[in-house]
Chains A and B, each alone.
Chain A
């Protein structure tokens, strides 16, 4: 579970987050939807404690990220944008390294890595160096890194960018599986179809604030629109910055 309460953050002269509050439950996929520059990435960085908020707190499970950063971070897995791969390491080495960084011992990390690679169906490429990987392979490697330590919360920053249909479907299946296993999955996106297809709960953001939240159907009902895209535009009040 991730709970964000009243977070504000000013970067330079820009009020990137402005009293942002939302809650992402376990066993649900929560989508953070917003136009470019809405503060999605800033919000995720704040949850990870990479940015210090001027105001407000973020709780991961029951840990305040500002007070217990180590415990809080152990409950989190991050799929960053861009992936941040090491080209000279293999997915196995890469995943194992991050498993250890999340506090696993050598033996645990090795075993968890093997299981994760199996789960993501990537044993074939597990011992090839990441240099030259396709977007889909890179995405899988980054995802393996995010879930190897079995965090209860997984955060994905624009995970579908650059993926082909097959990879996108695969990602969707993986996220569904994680949700069914009771994880709290949060992902930021500006691609409506993704959010509509996947999310149980949508948080619509603009200018650092939550404009509306609820299930996709709730948002459509709220705005009297047929689909999420129309609802989104109605909520934001402009179609600026939606181009995916």
Chain B
């Protein structure tokens, strides 16, 4: 009994280890995903920390040198003559005269307000113009001996309660998403090869004509796939561990550092997920008659775990979702990175649910292989 399982398991791993294309596909994901996300995070952070200087066309700039200087100091500069910008600030010919005589001096902001891409820039220009106007007003009042605060009956201040950690929650979500998905994608090709492939090359009936039971067959395949998924998980964790410190997190005021404790923790809570992934891959691809068919089914079915993981990443119904398989483990991983206490009841329930689901899929796959219709495609 154990010997048959061992023989089958060893053969699966030997066969898989020689399947260079599938191994490479798994490696691309495990190495590629964390690196890709790091590059993405770097780009986002750079953009957030050093906002781009906005360049607008200013017509008749000579009439309002002080305003132009003010805008320039606030990151809005006049575009070169022949460099047309989509936002144009027109300073009225009478500007200087009106300003000097203490009357409203006119400026016109011209742009296509229906363009979404301009919205932020326009809002920034408007805000700066209003600020400038307010500054001049205050100066005028002071010169007339009036306290400018009189014009500010309500003083409002923004107090942002976001901690650095909560700002990073989306980033934590994406980082853990990439880690969890490796369990599903890392061994996908190998899983298809050992199931639909076995049928395609007509070895399934040959295996079943030997004294091995369907249960032993499925269990050894699930074990082999889960082993490879776990390898992919370990690899993605290690690559992440070394890649994430290269992102300049300090500029965001928080950090994503993956300790070795986190690696071990993720491997342990990843085990039920690896079983679930293996069960799902085996069940779905045994339904398919060929490699290609299995691939198209799986691409579809894998949206389910991705969806569960997305819910956590985007903070949707998080209180309920963290009791569910995959999402629960991901929540726990996020709490672990943040250094918060792990919510054990949720984690245990979701891990248990993951195991039950995995066992259910394995039983269903076994039942399917007992049907002669499935084995021979009758």
Contact = CB atoms under 8 A, between A and B. Distances in A.
B378 A11 contact: yes
Contacts, number: 76
A174 interface: no
Contacts of A101: 4, 7-8, 207, 210-212
A215 interface: no
A145 B4 CA distance: 16
Given A45-B376, A78-B209, A85-B203, A105 B11 contact: no
Contacts of B11: 86, 89, 93, 97
Contact of B14 (A71, A78, A89): A89
A12 B378 contact: yes
B210 A73 contact: yes
Interface string A89-118: 100010001101111010000000000000
B211 A70 contact: yes
Contacts of B3: 100, 103, 105
Contact of A45 (B205, B207, B210): B205
A101 B210 CA distance: 6
Nearest to B205: A50
Contacts of B72: none
B211 A80 contact: no
Interface residues on A, range: 20 to 34
A88 interface: yes
Interface residues of B, number: 26
B179 to A, nearest CB: 30
A69 interface: yes
A50 B15 contact: no
Interface in B186-218: 201-203, 205-212
Contacts of A241: none
A88 B19 contact: yes
A78 B375 CA distance: 17
B203 A50 contact: no
A84 B372 contact: no
Contact of B210 (A11, A82, A87, A98): A98
Contacts of A74: 211
A84 B205 contact: yes
Contacts of A89: 11, 14-15, 18
Nearest to B207: A101
A52 interface: yes
B308 to A, nearest CB: 34
Contact of A103 (B205, B208, B211): B211
Interface string B15-28: 10011000000000
Contacts of A97: 7, 10-11
Nearest to B378: A11
B210 A102 contact: yes
Nearest to B201: A84
Contact of A86 (B203, B205, B208): B203
A51 interface: yes
Given A84-B203, A88-B19, A50 B14 contact: no
Given A73-B211, A84-B202, A101-B8, 11 more contacts: A45-B205, A51-B376, A73-B209, A86-B11, A86-B203, A88-B19, A97-B7, A100-B4, A101-B210, A101-B211, A105-B3
29 contacts: A45-B205, A48-B209, A50-B205, A50-B208, A50-B375, A50-B376, A51-B372, A52-B372, A73-B209, A73-B210, A74-B211, A80-B205, A84-B202, A84-B206, A86-B15, A86-B201, A86-B203, A88-B18, A88-B19, A89-B14, A89-B18, A97-B10, A100-B6, A101-B4, A101-B8, A101-B210, A101-B211, A103-B3, A105-B3
